[in-house]
Structure 1
Amino acid sequence: MEWTGACYADTPTTEVRVWIDAPPDMVWAVVSDIELMPGMSEELRSVEWLDGAAGPAVGARFVGRSEHEAFGAWETTSHVIECEARSVLAWAVEDPARPSAVWRFRLRPRDGGTELSQWMQLGPGRSGLSAAIDRMPEKEQKIVFVRMREFERAMTHTLAQIKQRAEA
């Protein structure tokens, strides 16, 4: 059976959403505190702001340290590319002009609470996944598909954790 799906160069994306019974201010307090994220992620081990930054703002940078069974441990520097309090927080991983990934939280008031979405785009810059694809180019679409499903599951888990904290 032939495998069909996205290639890395297609910059595949995924998005998950959740409704939270809390106002955007309370959800933003959790989303914008990136140092909470390792406690809500299976891969992310630690996060710290760089260059004296104390919170998100366009141009602020942070380092994240992650670990995955198949990829080992790695460290990346991310650059905040969008930041509007109670509305959106996005960052590009490594080179903002050609990131290895882009991540975005978007908050929208809805039905007396907040709709929170988390979106991510893989590529176009090289990432740890690129090495796996280099070793097995014939399996590129399957590698990308599996990794995108991992991201989707992880994001669903993260949003559930944010929901729990914001509603508490």
Structure 2
Amino acid sequence: MEWTGARYADKPTVEVRTWVNATPERVWAIVSDVSLMPDMSDELQAVQWVDGDRPAVGGKFVGRSRHESFGEWSTTSHVIEYEPGRTFAWAVADLDRPSAIWRFRLSPKDSGTQLSEWMQMGPGRSGLSYAIDAMPEKEQKIVFVRMREFEQNMATTLAHIKKLAES
């Protein structure tokens, strides 16, 4: 059977959305606090701002992660979009060729907040690249499985944000 999914070079994306019964300001306070993210993720273990940086375009933070198939690693992320109450995005590793781009978007909706989390894999190399190098014939399946993992983890993250914001 031939796999017909995306390749890493296609820069595949995934997005998860939820509605939160809280103001955008309340949701933003949670989304923009990267120190809360490890509590919402099975993979992300810790986050620390570099040199006292804070959320702003150009700010950097180091994230330490763990995955049973990939082991442990850390990456430096660069804030590339920061519009309080609306958008928070960062590029992982290299600004010119990030291994991933992550973005939260918020907008007022029905007396609450529409919240989305989006990510793009690649185009820069990541830990997944080593698995693809070792099994190039399985690239599309490897990418598909990883994107589904991201989608599931993002849904869990948004559920945590929703619970915190609504409590």
Coarse TM-score class (shorter-chain normalised): over 0.9
- Residues of 1 paired with 2:123 and 2:3: CA distance? 21
| 1:52 Cα deviation from its structure 2 partner | 1.5
Per-residue displacement from partner, 1:114-167 (whole Å, max 9, x unpaired)? 000000000000000000000000000000000000000000000000000001
The 5 A counterparts of 1:52-91 are 52-53=52-53, 55-91=54-90
| 1:75 Cα deviation from its structure 2 partner | 0.3
| 1:84 Cα deviation from its structure 2 partner | 0.4
- Residues of 2 paired with 1:109 and 1:122: CA distance? 28
**How many residue pairs end up in the alignment?**
167
| 1:11 Cα deviation from its structure 2 partner | 0.2
Per-residue displacement from partner, 1:25-77 (whole Å, max 9, x unpaired)? 00000000000000000100000000221x31000000000000000000000
User: Partner residue of 1:97?
Assistant: 96
- Residues of 2 paired with 1:133 and 1:2: CA distance? 16
User: Partner residue of 1:45?
Assistant: 45
AA aligned opposite 1:131: Y
State the TM-score, normalized to the length of structure 1: 0.99
Per-residue displacement from partner, 1:97-117 (whole Å, max 9, x unpaired)? 100000000001000000000
- Residues of 2 paired with 1:16 and 1:99: CA distance? 21
| 1:2 Cα deviation from its structure 2 partner | 1.1
- Residues of 2 paired with 1:150 and 1:6: CA distance? 15
User: Partner residue of 2:138?
Assistant: 139
User: Partner residue of 2:154?
Assistant: 155
Structure 2 stretches lacking a partner, 5+ long: none
- Residues of 2 paired with 1:2 and 1:122: CA distance? 22
User: Partner residue of 1:115?
Assistant: 114
State the TM-score, normalized to the length of structure 2: 0.99
Structure 1 segments (4+ residues) deviating >4 Å: none
AA aligned opposite 1:5: G
User: Partner residue of 1:12?
Assistant: 12
Root-mean-square deviation (CA, aligned residues, Å) is: 0.4
Structure 1 stretches lacking a partner, 5+ long: none
- Residues of 1 paired with 2:55 and 2:105: CA distance? 14
User: Partner residue of 1:25?
Assistant: 25
- Residues of 2 paired with 1:8 and 1:34: CA distance? 27
- Residues of 1 paired with 2:32 and 2:8: CA distance? 29
Residue 51 of structure 2 aligns to a residue whose secondary structure is coil
